[in-house]
Amino acid sequence: MISITDAVRQELIYNPLIMEFLNEGLLNTSEYARKIQNKIQENCFKKVEINSIVTSLSRLKQNPISKSELTKLQISDIQTKYPIVDLLYFKDTDSATKIGKLYSLLQTENRNHFLNIIAGVTEINIFASSELMNAIFEIFGEKKLKYKRDELTAITVKLAKDYIDSLGITYQILRSLVLENVNVVETVTTYSEVTIFVDKINTQKTIEILSKNFLSR
């Protein structure tokens, strides 16, 4: 059996955003206590009052969870691609065929070109090297374009495979950038990579922030 404070501590470790709100005094502790009451009771194997959870939250605010208790992100490499264009289309019945044509085209093109396609429920976002823009227009149609943003940089960080089951990893990356007023246009994640799209003007600043906070030495 663990103490109420230890049970609440575990909840915060697995919810870094809530922990952030608590430390900044932005968390409604009574409402959050009601939300996690059942979980705390299960972990403590006893009935736990709301006031007891609120008291534990207050103690943890006075003695914040140390960074050593959290999964500290380390990245092994940072790669950049520029210039990148962001093109948005609405999905239609021919979208899959068009995507296939675009990938087929790349077989004969420069393999160093960047291409990332995000297929949502109703939209398709294409992030590609700017040199591919005319080819994309030929396949998808320039007049059907719903949104365009150019002069972007794709910044990809390499993660260890062990991070796949760690909570709050992407949050750590985005938090570090948001706190420095860097606008993240979009993010794409794979098994061991996180790619961040930012405006060209923020490229160097983003690299410096990621290197300072996460790059293994």
pLDDT tens for each residue of 22-32: 888 889 999 99
Mean pLDDT of the chain: 88
**Together in a domain, 46 and 96:** no
pLDDT score at 21: 85
pLDDT score at 203: 97
CA–CA separation, 186 vs 197, rounded Å?
A: 5
Tell me, yes or no, whether 26 lies in a domain: yes
Please enumerate in sequence order all residues whose Cβ is within 8 A of that of 123, keeping only pairs 6 or more positions apart, or say none. 88, 89, 90, 91, 146
**Together in a domain, 14 and 63:** yes
Q: Which tens digit of pLDDT belongs to each residue from 68-121?
A: 455 678 888 999 999 999 999 999 999 999 999 998 887 766 667 899 999 999
Residue with tokens 């030929």: 138
Tell me, yes or no, whether 112 lies in a domain: yes
**Together in a domain, 95 and 137:** yes
pLDDT score at 48: 93
User: Is the pLDDT score of 165 beyond 80?
Assistant: no
Tell me, yes or no, whether 50 lies in a domain: yes
Q: Of the residues 108, 128, 146, which one is the last residue of a structural domain?
A: 146
CA–CA separation, 152 vs 203, rounded Å?
A: 9
Tell me, yes or no, whether 140 lies in a domain: yes
Structure tokens at 153: 């940089």
Tell me, yes or no, whether 183 lies in a domain: no
Structure tokens at 213: 């906070």
What count of residues does the chain have?
217
pLDDT score at 107: 76
**Together in a domain, 59 and 16:** yes
Q: Which tens digit of pLDDT belongs to each residue from 171-191?
A: 889 988 988 999 999 999 988
Q: Which domain, by its residues, includes 106?
A: 91-146
Tell me, yes or no, whether 199 lies in a domain: no
Number of domains in the chain: 2
Tell me, yes or no, whether 176 lies in a domain: no
pLDDT score at 1: 67
User: Is the pLDDT score of 52 beyond 70?
Assistant: yes
